[in-house]
Structure 1
Amino acid sequence: MRYVPHTAQANITAERWNRDGALIQSQSSYHTRECVNWLKRFGKTNLDQTGSISFFQRTAFSPVVCHVAGFCPSAMKISWRRDGKDMKENVRIGAALPDGEGTYLRDVSFNITELDSNSFTCVVGNTSRDLDKHQLKVEKSECNQLTPSYISIYCIYTQLQMYAKSFGAPLKGFV
Protein backbone atom coordinates (compact mmCIF):
# COMPACT_ATOMS: atom_id res chain seq x y z
CA MET A 1 0.00 0.00 0.00
CA ARG A 2 1.17 3.51 -0.74
CA TYR A 3 -0.33 7.02 -0.52
CA VAL A 4 -0.80 8.81 -3.85
CA PRO A 5 -1.27 12.60 -3.65
CA HIS A 6 -4.00 14.12 -5.83
CA THR A 7 -2.65 17.67 -5.65
CA ALA A 8 0.82 19.18 -5.59
CA GLN A 9 0.19 20.53 -2.09
CA ALA A 10 -0.25 16.96 -0.79
CA ASN A 11 3.16 15.70 -2.04
CA ILE A 12 5.03 16.51 1.18
CA THR A 13 2.50 14.73 3.42
CA ALA A 14 2.24 11.70 1.09
CA GLU A 15 6.04 11.30 0.99
CA ARG A 16 6.26 11.48 4.80
CA TRP A 17 3.48 8.87 5.23
CA ASN A 18 5.03 6.59 2.57
CA ARG A 19 8.38 6.63 4.46
CA ASP A 20 6.66 5.46 7.69
CA GLY A 21 6.71 1.66 7.28
CA ALA A 22 4.75 1.00 10.50
CA LEU A 23 1.92 3.32 9.38
CA ILE A 24 1.77 1.67 5.95
CA GLN A 25 1.67 -1.82 7.52
CA SER A 26 -1.02 -0.79 10.02
CA GLN A 27 -3.25 0.83 7.39
CA SER A 28 -2.78 -2.08 4.98
CA SER A 29 -3.76 -4.58 7.67
CA TYR A 30 -6.82 -2.51 8.60
CA HIS A 31 -8.06 -2.23 5.02
CA THR A 32 -7.43 -5.87 4.05
CA ARG A 33 -8.64 -7.59 7.22
CA GLU A 34 -10.61 -5.57 9.72
CA CYS A 35 -12.50 -3.38 7.27
CA VAL A 36 -13.43 -6.38 5.12
CA ASN A 37 -14.70 -8.27 8.19
CA TRP A 38 -16.87 -5.32 9.23
CA LEU A 39 -18.34 -5.06 5.73
CA LYS A 40 -19.10 -8.79 5.62
CA ARG A 41 -20.69 -8.65 9.05
CA PHE A 42 -22.76 -5.46 8.81
CA GLY A 43 -22.69 -4.27 5.21
CA LYS A 44 -25.42 -6.48 3.77
CA THR A 45 -27.98 -5.74 6.47
CA ASN A 46 -27.32 -2.01 6.39
CA LEU A 47 -27.10 -1.62 2.63
CA ASP A 48 -30.19 -3.63 1.66
CA GLN A 49 -32.84 -1.74 3.62
CA THR A 50 -36.32 -2.02 2.11
CA GLY A 51 -37.88 0.66 4.31
CA SER A 52 -41.61 1.16 4.77
CA ILE A 53 -44.25 0.55 2.11
CA SER A 54 -47.55 2.43 2.08
CA PHE A 55 -50.35 2.98 -0.42
CA PHE A 56 -52.52 5.98 -1.20
CA GLN A 57 -54.79 7.34 -3.90
CA ARG A 58 -55.57 11.06 -4.16
CA THR A 59 -59.01 10.64 -5.75
CA ALA A 60 -61.06 7.69 -6.95
CA PHE A 61 -59.86 8.42 -10.50
CA SER A 62 -56.17 9.06 -9.81
CA PRO A 63 -53.40 6.42 -9.85
CA VAL A 64 -52.73 4.13 -6.91
CA VAL A 65 -49.33 5.01 -5.45
CA CYS A 66 -46.91 2.69 -3.70
CA HIS A 67 -44.84 5.04 -1.52
CA VAL A 68 -41.56 3.53 -0.34
CA ALA A 69 -39.47 5.42 2.21
CA GLY A 70 -36.23 4.50 3.97
CA PHE A 71 -34.76 2.14 1.38
CA CYS A 72 -31.14 1.75 0.32
CA PRO A 73 -29.40 1.62 -2.19
CA SER A 74 -31.01 4.14 -4.52
CA ALA A 75 -30.96 1.62 -7.40
CA MET A 76 -33.18 -0.87 -5.52
CA LYS A 77 -35.84 -2.33 -7.81
CA ILE A 78 -39.39 -1.22 -6.96
CA SER A 79 -42.27 -2.53 -9.07
CA TRP A 80 -45.95 -3.50 -9.19
CA ARG A 81 -47.21 -7.05 -9.80
CA ARG A 82 -50.66 -8.00 -11.07
CA ASP A 83 -51.63 -11.54 -10.06
CA GLY A 84 -47.95 -12.37 -9.44
CA LYS A 85 -46.66 -11.07 -12.80
CA ASP A 86 -44.55 -7.93 -13.18
CA MET A 87 -46.50 -5.02 -14.64
CA LYS A 88 -44.64 -3.25 -17.44
CA GLU A 89 -47.33 -1.03 -18.97
CA ASN A 90 -48.93 2.09 -17.46
CA VAL A 91 -46.58 2.04 -14.46
CA ARG A 92 -44.97 5.34 -13.56
CA ILE A 93 -41.74 5.09 -11.56
CA GLY A 94 -40.72 8.27 -9.78
CA ALA A 95 -37.13 9.30 -9.12
CA ALA A 96 -35.30 8.00 -6.05
CA LEU A 97 -35.00 11.04 -3.80
CA PRO A 98 -32.67 11.27 -0.78
CA ASP A 99 -34.55 11.66 2.50
CA GLY A 100 -31.70 13.21 4.48
CA GLU A 101 -31.10 10.10 6.63
CA GLY A 102 -28.84 8.21 4.23
CA THR A 103 -31.77 6.38 2.63
CA TYR A 104 -34.15 7.16 -0.22
CA LEU A 105 -37.85 7.48 -1.02
CA ARG A 106 -39.73 6.78 -4.26
CA ASP A 107 -43.29 6.57 -5.58
CA VAL A 108 -44.39 3.95 -8.11
CA SER A 109 -47.94 4.32 -9.43
CA PHE A 110 -50.47 2.88 -11.88
CA ASN A 111 -54.15 3.39 -12.73
CA ILE A 112 -56.69 0.96 -11.32
CA THR A 113 -60.43 0.69 -11.93
CA GLU A 114 -63.07 -0.25 -9.38
CA LEU A 115 -64.07 -3.19 -11.58
CA ASP A 116 -60.54 -4.61 -11.59
CA SER A 117 -60.63 -7.87 -9.62
CA ASN A 118 -56.92 -8.66 -9.94
CA SER A 119 -54.62 -8.77 -6.93
CA PHE A 120 -51.81 -6.22 -6.85
CA THR A 121 -48.50 -6.30 -5.00
CA CYS A 122 -45.85 -3.63 -4.54
CA VAL A 123 -42.40 -5.25 -4.60
CA VAL A 124 -39.34 -3.57 -3.08
CA GLY A 125 -36.14 -5.58 -3.47
CA ASN A 126 -36.93 -8.95 -1.85
CA THR A 127 -39.87 -7.60 0.18
CA SER A 128 -43.46 -7.20 -0.99
CA ARG A 129 -46.78 -5.92 0.30
CA ASP A 130 -50.22 -6.75 -1.11
CA LEU A 131 -52.63 -3.95 -1.95
CA ASP A 132 -55.98 -4.35 -0.19
CA LYS A 133 -58.36 -2.22 -2.28
CA HIS A 134 -60.90 -2.14 0.57
CA GLN A 135 -58.39 -0.56 2.94
CA LEU A 136 -57.03 1.86 0.34
CA LYS A 137 -57.59 5.34 1.66
CA VAL A 138 -58.59 7.91 -0.91
CA GLU A 139 -57.36 11.30 0.18
CA LYS A 140 -60.14 13.84 0.30
CA SER A 141 -59.20 17.26 -0.90
CA GLU A 142 -60.78 20.13 1.01
CA CYS A 143 -60.43 22.22 -2.11
CA ASN A 144 -62.78 19.93 -4.03
CA GLN A 145 -65.34 19.94 -1.21
CA LEU A 146 -65.44 23.74 -1.04
CA THR A 147 -65.66 24.35 -4.78
CA PRO A 148 -69.50 23.88 -5.03
CA SER A 149 -69.99 26.39 -2.21
CA TYR A 150 -67.82 28.98 -3.93
CA ILE A 151 -69.61 28.43 -7.24
CA SER A 152 -73.02 28.85 -5.57
CA ILE A 153 -71.97 32.07 -3.82
CA TYR A 154 -70.51 33.45 -7.05
CA CYS A 155 -73.72 32.63 -8.98
CA ILE A 156 -75.92 34.31 -6.36
CA TYR A 157 -73.63 37.37 -6.30
CA THR A 158 -73.69 37.62 -10.10
CA GLN A 159 -77.49 37.34 -10.22
CA LEU A 160 -77.86 40.05 -7.57
CA GLN A 161 -75.56 42.33 -9.56
CA MET A 162 -77.56 41.71 -12.75
CA TYR A 163 -80.83 42.35 -10.87
CA ALA A 164 -79.45 45.61 -9.43
CA LYS A 165 -78.16 46.79 -12.82
CA SER A 166 -81.59 46.25 -14.34
CA PHE A 167 -82.83 49.01 -11.98
CA GLY A 168 -79.90 51.27 -12.92
CA ALA A 169 -77.97 51.25 -9.63
CA PRO A 170 -75.67 48.69 -8.04
CA LEU A 171 -76.65 47.18 -4.70
CA LYS A 172 -75.04 48.88 -1.73
CA GLY A 173 -72.42 46.75 -0.02
CA PHE A 174 -71.91 44.47 -3.03
CA VAL A 175 -69.57 46.62 -5.12
Structure 2
Amino acid sequence: MQLFLALCFLLGIPSGAPEIHSVKYFYTGASQVPNFPEFVIVGLVDELLTEHYDSNTRRFVPKQTWANRMTEAYPTYWEDETGKSQGLQQWFKANIEIAKQRFNQTGGVHIVQYMYGCEWDDETNEVNGFRQFGYDGEDFISLDLKTETYIAPVQQAVPTKHKWDSNKAELAYWKNYFTTDCVDWLKKYVEFGRSSLMRKDLPSVSLLQKTPSSPLTCHATGFYPDRADLFWKKDEEELHEDVVKGEILPNHDGSFQMSVDLDLSGLKDEDWGRYSCVFHLAGGQEVSKRLDKRDIRTNWKTNDGGLHTGLVGLATLAGCIYVLVIYLKKGPQGFRATNTSETSPSSGEDPSMQSISETSS
Protein backbone atom coordinates (compact mmCIF):
# COMPACT_ATOMS: atom_id res chain seq x y z
CA MET A 1 0.00 0.00 0.00
CA GLN A 2 2.82 2.28 -0.99
CA LEU A 3 0.66 5.03 -2.46
CA PHE A 4 -1.70 4.96 0.51
CA LEU A 5 1.12 5.55 3.01
CA ALA A 6 3.27 7.91 0.99
CA LEU A 7 0.88 10.79 0.31
CA CYS A 8 2.77 13.36 2.25
CA PHE A 9 3.68 16.61 0.56
CA LEU A 10 5.93 19.56 1.15
CA LEU A 11 4.00 22.77 0.78
CA GLY A 12 4.14 26.49 1.01
CA ILE A 13 3.49 29.73 -0.76
CA PRO A 14 6.20 32.41 -1.06
CA SER A 15 4.59 35.84 -0.89
CA GLY A 16 5.42 38.51 -3.38
CA ALA A 17 6.54 36.03 -6.05
CA PRO A 18 4.81 34.27 -8.94
CA GLU A 19 3.31 31.05 -7.70
CA ILE A 20 1.59 27.99 -9.06
CA HIS A 21 -1.54 27.53 -6.96
CA SER A 22 -3.34 24.22 -6.79
CA VAL A 23 -6.51 22.61 -5.56
CA LYS A 24 -6.45 18.85 -5.11
CA TYR A 25 -9.08 16.38 -3.98
CA PHE A 26 -8.21 12.93 -2.68
CA TYR A 27 -10.74 10.13 -2.19
CA THR A 28 -9.93 6.86 -0.43
CA GLY A 29 -12.23 3.86 -0.27
CA ALA A 30 -10.94 1.18 2.08
CA SER A 31 -11.93 -2.42 2.72
CA GLN A 32 -10.92 -4.17 5.96
CA VAL A 33 -8.26 -1.59 6.86
CA PRO A 34 -7.89 -1.55 10.68
CA ASN A 35 -8.48 1.79 12.42
CA PHE A 36 -9.23 3.63 9.19
CA PRO A 37 -12.63 4.86 7.94
CA GLU A 38 -14.29 3.03 5.07
CA PHE A 39 -14.30 6.23 3.05
CA VAL A 40 -12.38 9.50 3.37
CA ILE A 41 -12.33 12.71 1.37
CA VAL A 42 -9.93 15.61 1.80
CA GLY A 43 -9.46 18.81 -0.18
CA LEU A 44 -6.23 20.76 -0.26
CA VAL A 45 -5.47 24.24 -1.52
CA ASP A 46 -1.76 24.89 -2.12
CA GLU A 47 -1.17 21.65 -0.16
CA LEU A 48 -3.00 23.04 2.89
CA LEU A 49 -5.82 20.86 4.23
CA THR A 50 -9.04 22.82 3.80
CA GLU A 51 -11.94 20.31 3.78
CA HIS A 52 -12.64 16.84 5.15
CA TYR A 53 -15.21 14.07 5.14
CA ASP A 54 -15.13 10.52 6.46
CA SER A 55 -17.59 7.68 6.79
CA ASN A 56 -17.48 7.84 10.59
CA THR A 57 -18.63 11.45 10.97
CA ARG A 58 -20.60 11.54 7.68
CA ARG A 59 -20.15 15.30 7.53
CA PHE A 60 -18.24 17.43 5.03
CA VAL A 61 -16.55 20.15 7.09
CA PRO A 62 -14.04 23.01 6.70
CA LYS A 63 -10.58 22.53 8.22
CA GLN A 64 -9.55 26.20 7.90
CA THR A 65 -11.49 29.12 9.33
CA TRP A 66 -11.38 30.98 6.05
CA ALA A 67 -12.85 27.97 4.22
CA ASN A 68 -16.21 28.87 5.78
CA ARG A 69 -16.31 31.78 3.34
CA MET A 70 -17.21 29.31 0.61
CA THR A 71 -20.82 29.98 1.59
CA GLU A 72 -20.40 33.54 0.28
CA ALA A 73 -20.21 32.10 -3.23
CA TYR A 74 -22.36 29.05 -2.60
CA PRO A 75 -24.72 29.38 0.45
CA THR A 76 -25.53 25.65 0.74
CA TYR A 77 -21.98 24.52 0.00
CA TRP A 78 -21.34 22.38 3.09
CA GLU A 79 -24.77 20.74 3.08
CA ASP A 80 -24.55 19.91 -0.62
CA GLU A 81 -21.02 18.56 -0.31
CA THR A 82 -22.08 16.39 2.62
CA GLY A 83 -24.84 14.86 0.50
CA LYS A 84 -22.50 14.25 -2.44
CA SER A 85 -19.89 12.69 -0.17
CA GLN A 86 -22.39 10.29 1.36
CA GLY A 87 -23.38 9.19 -2.14
CA LEU A 88 -19.77 8.78 -3.22
CA GLN A 89 -19.16 6.54 -0.22
CA GLN A 90 -21.44 3.91 -1.76
CA TRP A 91 -19.88 4.34 -5.22
CA PHE A 92 -16.43 3.61 -3.81
CA LYS A 93 -17.65 0.58 -1.90
CA ALA A 94 -19.00 -0.86 -5.14
CA ASN A 95 -15.80 -0.04 -7.02
CA ILE A 96 -13.67 -1.98 -4.58
CA GLU A 97 -15.73 -5.09 -5.30
CA ILE A 98 -15.46 -4.53 -9.07
CA ALA A 99 -11.70 -4.02 -8.82
CA LYS A 100 -11.34 -7.21 -6.79
CA GLN A 101 -13.07 -9.10 -9.59
CA ARG A 102 -10.75 -7.53 -12.16
CA PHE A 103 -7.69 -8.65 -10.20
CA ASN A 104 -9.22 -12.05 -9.36
CA GLN A 105 -9.23 -11.32 -5.63
CA THR A 106 -11.61 -12.23 -2.83
CA GLY A 107 -11.18 -10.95 0.73
CA GLY A 108 -8.38 -9.05 2.44
CA VAL A 109 -7.32 -5.43 2.71
CA HIS A 110 -7.93 -3.34 -0.42
CA ILE A 111 -7.80 0.36 -1.29
CA VAL A 112 -9.32 2.35 -4.15
CA GLN A 113 -7.97 5.88 -4.54
CA TYR A 114 -8.96 8.80 -6.70
CA MET A 115 -7.24 12.16 -7.08
CA TYR A 116 -8.17 15.11 -9.26
CA GLY A 117 -7.62 18.84 -9.32
CA CYS A 118 -5.98 21.69 -11.16
CA GLU A 119 -3.07 24.12 -11.04
CA TRP A 120 -2.98 27.79 -11.94
CA ASP A 121 0.06 30.01 -12.50
CA ASP A 122 -0.90 33.43 -11.16
CA GLU A 123 1.63 35.15 -13.43
CA THR A 124 1.28 33.42 -16.79
CA ASN A 125 -2.33 32.34 -16.19
CA GLU A 126 -1.38 28.86 -17.43
CA VAL A 127 -3.62 26.07 -16.12
CA ASN A 128 -3.26 22.32 -15.87
CA GLY A 129 -5.60 19.56 -14.75
CA PHE A 130 -5.07 16.03 -13.48
CA ARG A 131 -7.25 13.01 -12.81
CA GLN A 132 -5.98 9.61 -11.75
CA PHE A 133 -6.99 6.43 -9.96
CA GLY A 134 -5.05 3.93 -7.89
CA TYR A 135 -5.76 0.46 -6.56
CA ASP A 136 -3.92 -1.20 -3.68
CA GLY A 137 -1.12 1.35 -3.78
CA GLU A 138 -0.44 1.15 -7.51
CA ASP A 139 -1.44 3.39 -10.40
CA PHE A 140 -4.56 2.12 -12.15
CA ILE A 141 -5.53 4.69 -14.78
CA SER A 142 -4.90 8.40 -15.39
CA LEU A 143 -6.00 11.12 -17.79
CA ASP A 144 -3.49 12.74 -20.15
CA LEU A 145 -5.16 16.07 -20.69
CA LYS A 146 -2.85 17.09 -23.56
CA THR A 147 -3.71 14.09 -25.72
CA GLU A 148 -7.22 13.72 -24.24
CA THR A 149 -6.67 10.01 -23.70
CA TYR A 150 -6.31 7.76 -20.68
CA ILE A 151 -3.14 5.91 -19.70
CA ALA A 152 -3.57 2.36 -18.39
CA PRO A 153 -0.34 1.12 -16.71
CA VAL A 154 -1.88 -2.27 -15.82
CA GLN A 155 -3.70 -4.76 -18.02
CA GLN A 156 -6.76 -4.77 -15.76
CA ALA A 157 -7.37 -1.09 -16.60
CA VAL A 158 -7.30 -1.50 -20.38
CA PRO A 159 -11.08 -2.10 -20.72
CA THR A 160 -11.72 1.08 -18.76
CA LYS A 161 -9.27 3.00 -20.96
CA HIS A 162 -11.02 1.88 -24.15
CA LYS A 163 -14.42 2.78 -22.73
CA TRP A 164 -13.38 6.23 -21.52
CA ASP A 165 -11.31 7.08 -24.62
CA SER A 166 -14.33 6.42 -26.82
CA ASN A 167 -16.54 8.78 -24.80
CA LYS A 168 -15.58 12.04 -26.51
CA ALA A 169 -18.34 14.02 -24.81
CA GLU A 170 -16.99 13.17 -21.38
CA LEU A 171 -13.41 13.93 -22.41
CA ALA A 172 -14.58 17.35 -23.59
CA TYR A 173 -16.39 17.81 -20.28
CA TRP A 174 -13.22 17.13 -18.28
CA LYS A 175 -11.12 19.42 -20.44
CA ASN A 176 -13.61 22.24 -19.93
CA TYR A 177 -13.90 21.51 -16.22
CA PHE A 178 -10.14 21.67 -15.59
CA THR A 179 -9.64 24.84 -17.63
CA THR A 180 -12.66 26.80 -16.38
CA ASP A 181 -14.74 25.62 -13.41
CA CYS A 182 -11.87 24.15 -11.40
CA VAL A 183 -9.69 27.20 -11.90
CA ASP A 184 -12.55 29.57 -11.03
CA TRP A 185 -13.02 27.80 -7.71
CA LEU A 186 -9.29 27.71 -7.08
CA LYS A 187 -9.12 31.48 -7.50
CA LYS A 188 -11.92 31.85 -4.95
CA TYR A 189 -10.01 29.65 -2.49
CA VAL A 190 -6.85 31.71 -2.95
CA GLU A 191 -8.81 34.93 -2.43
CA PHE A 192 -10.53 33.68 0.73
CA GLY A 193 -7.39 32.16 2.26
CA ARG A 194 -4.81 34.65 1.06
CA SER A 195 -3.55 35.57 4.55
CA SER A 196 -2.88 31.92 5.40
CA LEU A 197 -1.72 30.77 1.98
CA MET A 198 0.69 33.69 1.57
CA ARG A 199 2.14 33.48 5.09
CA LYS A 200 5.91 33.20 5.17
CA ASP A 201 8.02 33.05 8.35
CA LEU A 202 11.77 32.53 8.58
CA PRO A 203 13.09 30.38 11.45
CA SER A 204 15.56 30.82 14.26
CA VAL A 205 18.56 28.59 13.59
CA SER A 206 20.67 27.06 16.38
CA LEU A 207 23.71 24.79 16.60
CA LEU A 208 23.17 22.01 19.16
CA GLN A 209 25.45 19.26 20.43
CA LYS A 210 24.74 16.80 23.21
CA THR A 211 28.39 15.87 23.94
CA PRO A 212 31.74 16.77 22.34
CA SER A 213 31.70 13.41 20.49
CA SER A 214 28.10 13.71 19.28
CA PRO A 215 27.13 14.90 15.81
CA LEU A 216 26.48 18.62 15.56
CA THR A 217 22.82 19.41 14.96
CA CYS A 218 21.66 22.45 13.04
CA HIS A 219 18.09 23.06 14.22
CA ALA A 220 15.66 25.45 12.52
CA THR A 221 12.31 26.18 14.17
CA GLY A 222 9.42 28.57 13.68
CA PHE A 223 9.35 28.59 9.87
CA TYR A 224 6.31 28.54 7.61
CA PRO A 225 5.37 27.06 5.21
CA ASP A 226 7.01 23.65 5.34
CA ARG A 227 8.23 23.73 1.76
CA ALA A 228 11.77 24.29 2.86
CA ASP A 229 15.22 22.76 2.99
CA LEU A 230 18.01 22.70 5.57
CA PHE A 231 21.52 21.58 4.71
CA TRP A 232 25.21 21.84 5.56
CA LYS A 233 27.68 23.23 3.08
CA LYS A 234 31.47 23.55 2.92
CA ASP A 235 32.53 26.76 1.24
CA GLU A 236 29.81 26.99 -1.44
CA GLU A 237 29.24 23.28 -1.97
CA GLU A 238 26.35 21.40 -0.33
CA LEU A 239 27.46 18.38 1.72
CA HIS A 240 25.90 14.95 1.30
CA GLU A 241 28.42 12.76 3.12
CA ASP A 242 28.56 12.65 6.94
CA VAL A 243 25.17 14.38 6.99
CA VAL A 244 21.85 13.06 8.34
CA LYS A 245 18.74 15.08 7.58
CA GLY A 246 15.66 14.86 9.79
CA GLU A 247 11.98 15.17 8.92
CA ILE A 248 10.00 18.39 8.93
CA LEU A 249 7.84 18.37 12.06
CA PRO A 250 4.95 20.63 13.15
CA ASN A 251 5.12 22.97 16.13
CA HIS A 252 2.16 23.63 18.40
CA ASP A 253 1.66 27.11 16.92
CA GLY A 254 1.30 25.88 13.34
CA SER A 255 4.89 26.61 12.33
CA PHE A 256 7.47 23.93 11.58
CA GLN A 257 10.87 22.69 12.66
CA MET A 258 13.58 20.52 11.17
CA SER A 259 17.20 19.56 11.81
CA VAL A 260 20.26 18.24 10.00
CA ASP A 261 23.24 16.55 11.69
CA LEU A 262 26.89 16.87 10.73
CA ASP A 263 29.57 14.36 11.80
CA LEU A 264 32.49 16.39 13.19
CA SER A 265 34.84 13.47 13.83
CA GLY A 266 37.01 14.13 10.78
CA LEU A 267 36.79 17.93 10.87
CA LYS A 268 40.06 19.85 11.34
CA ASP A 269 40.05 22.93 13.59
CA GLU A 270 41.34 25.18 10.82
CA ASP A 271 38.40 24.16 8.58
CA TRP A 272 35.57 25.10 10.96
CA GLY A 273 35.05 28.49 9.38
CA ARG A 274 34.49 26.90 5.98
CA TYR A 275 31.29 25.17 7.12
CA SER A 276 27.85 26.70 7.45
CA CYS A 277 24.27 25.56 7.91
CA VAL A 278 21.78 26.99 5.43
CA PHE A 279 17.99 27.16 5.70
CA HIS A 280 16.21 27.75 2.38
CA LEU A 281 12.52 28.69 2.24
CA ALA A 282 10.43 28.29 -0.89
CA GLY A 283 10.65 31.53 -2.79
CA GLY A 284 14.36 32.01 -2.31
CA GLN A 285 14.82 33.46 1.18
CA GLU A 286 17.63 31.96 3.23
CA VAL A 287 19.09 31.98 6.71
CA SER A 288 22.75 30.97 7.03
CA LYS A 289 24.68 30.17 10.19
CA ARG A 290 28.46 29.71 10.02
CA LEU A 291 30.02 26.98 12.12
CA ASP A 292 31.55 28.56 15.23
CA LYS A 293 32.39 26.74 18.46
CA ARG A 294 31.22 29.74 20.47
CA ASP A 295 27.70 29.41 19.05
CA ILE A 296 27.19 25.74 19.91
CA ARG A 297 24.52 25.21 22.57
CA THR A 298 24.97 22.06 24.59
CA ASN A 299 24.32 20.34 27.91
CA TRP A 300 27.62 18.63 28.59
CA LYS A 301 29.36 19.34 31.88
CA THR A 302 32.40 21.60 32.13
CA ASN A 303 35.47 21.00 34.29
CA ASP A 304 33.96 22.90 37.22
CA GLY A 305 30.98 20.54 37.34
CA GLY A 306 28.55 23.03 35.87
CA LEU A 307 26.74 22.91 32.58
CA HIS A 308 28.22 24.31 29.42
CA THR A 309 26.52 27.50 28.30
CA GLY A 310 23.61 27.08 26.01
CA LEU A 311 20.86 24.54 25.71
CA VAL A 312 20.29 22.81 29.05
CA GLY A 313 17.15 21.16 27.74
CA LEU A 314 18.53 19.44 24.65
CA ALA A 315 17.47 16.04 25.95
CA THR A 316 14.01 17.40 26.64
CA LEU A 317 13.78 18.77 23.12
CA ALA A 318 14.83 15.45 21.64
CA GLY A 319 12.27 13.70 23.83
CA CYS A 320 9.48 15.99 22.69
CA ILE A 321 10.34 15.45 19.05
CA TYR A 322 10.42 11.68 19.60
CA VAL A 323 6.97 11.71 21.21
CA LEU A 324 5.62 13.85 18.39
CA VAL A 325 6.96 11.51 15.73
CA ILE A 326 5.41 8.51 17.51
CA TYR A 327 2.09 10.37 17.75
CA LEU A 328 2.11 11.26 14.05
CA LYS A 329 2.91 7.69 13.05
CA LYS A 330 0.04 6.37 15.15
CA GLY A 331 -2.43 8.77 13.63
CA PRO A 332 -4.41 7.92 10.49
CA GLN A 333 -1.97 8.55 7.67
CA GLY A 334 -4.18 9.81 5.13
CA PHE A 335 -4.33 9.60 1.66
CA ARG A 336 -5.75 13.02 1.57
CA ALA A 337 -9.13 12.05 0.56
CA THR A 338 -10.74 14.39 -1.79
CA ASN A 339 -13.66 16.50 -2.05
CA THR A 340 -15.87 17.53 -4.84
CA SER A 341 -16.10 21.08 -3.68
CA GLU A 342 -14.45 22.60 -6.62
CA THR A 343 -17.41 21.64 -8.70
CA SER A 344 -19.10 24.70 -10.05
CA PRO A 345 -22.53 24.99 -8.40
CA SER A 346 -23.93 26.31 -11.63
CA SER A 347 -23.16 23.06 -13.39
CA GLY A 348 -25.37 21.12 -10.99
CA GLU A 349 -23.13 18.09 -11.35
CA ASP A 350 -20.24 16.66 -9.40
CA PRO A 351 -17.50 15.67 -11.89
CA SER A 352 -16.24 12.89 -9.63
CA MET A 353 -19.64 11.17 -9.66
CA GLN A 354 -19.88 11.31 -13.42
CA SER A 355 -17.79 8.20 -13.98
CA ILE A 356 -16.18 7.11 -10.74
CA SER A 357 -18.39 4.02 -10.78
CA GLU A 358 -16.72 3.02 -14.00
CA THR A 359 -13.23 3.11 -12.57
CA SER A 360 -12.96 -0.63 -12.72
CA SER A 361 -15.78 -1.40 -15.10
Query: What interval of TM-score do these two structures reach, taking the shorter chain for normalisation?
Result: 0.5 to 0.7
Unmatched 5+ stretches in structure 1:
9-29, 147-175
Match of 1:129 among 285, 288, 302: 288
CA distance in 2, matches of 1:132, 1:139: 14
CA contact (8 A) 1:54 1:66 kept: yes
Task: Tell me which residue corresponds to 1:59.
Answer: 211
Match of 2:249 among 77, 83, 97: 97
Indicate whether 1:141 and 2:300 are aligned.
yes
Indicate whether 1:6 and 2:56 are aligned.
no
Matches within 5 A, 1:156-175: none
Q: Which moved more, 1:31-40 or 1:60-69?
A: 31-40
CA distance in 1, matches of 2:204, 2:295: 16
Unmatched 5+ stretches in structure 2:
1-73, 88-183, 307-361
Shift of 1:136: 2.6
Match of 1:71 among 215, 219, 223: 223
CA distance in 1, matches of 2:220, 2:270: 24
Indicate whether 1:43 and 2:197 are aligned.
yes
CA distance in 1, matches of 2:226, 2:262: 21
Shift of 1:92: 0.8
CA distance in 1, matches of 2:302, 2:250: 30
Aligned residues: 125
CA distance in 2, matches of 1:102, 1:72: 8
Match of 1:120 among 275, 281, 294: 275
CA distance in 2, matches of 1:104, 1:65: 16
> What is the RMSD of the two structures over their aligned residues, measured on CA atoms?
3.5
**Bigger share in helix:** 1
CA distance in 1, matches of 2:186, 2:248: 33
CA contact (8 A) 2:190 2:197 kept: no
Task: Tell me which residue corresponds to 2:144.
Answer: none
TM-score, length-scaled by structure 2: 0.30
Give the share of equivalent positions with the same residue, in percent: 20
Counterpart secondary structure, 1:6: helix
Select the structure with the greater relative contact order (CA < 8 A; seq sep ≥ 6). 2
TM-score, length-scaled by structure 1: 0.56
**Bigger share in strand:** 2
Q: Which moved more, 1:127-136 or 1:83-92?
A: 127-136
Shift of 1:91: 0.7
CA distance in 1, matches of 2:274, 2:256: 27
Shift of 1:61: 2.0
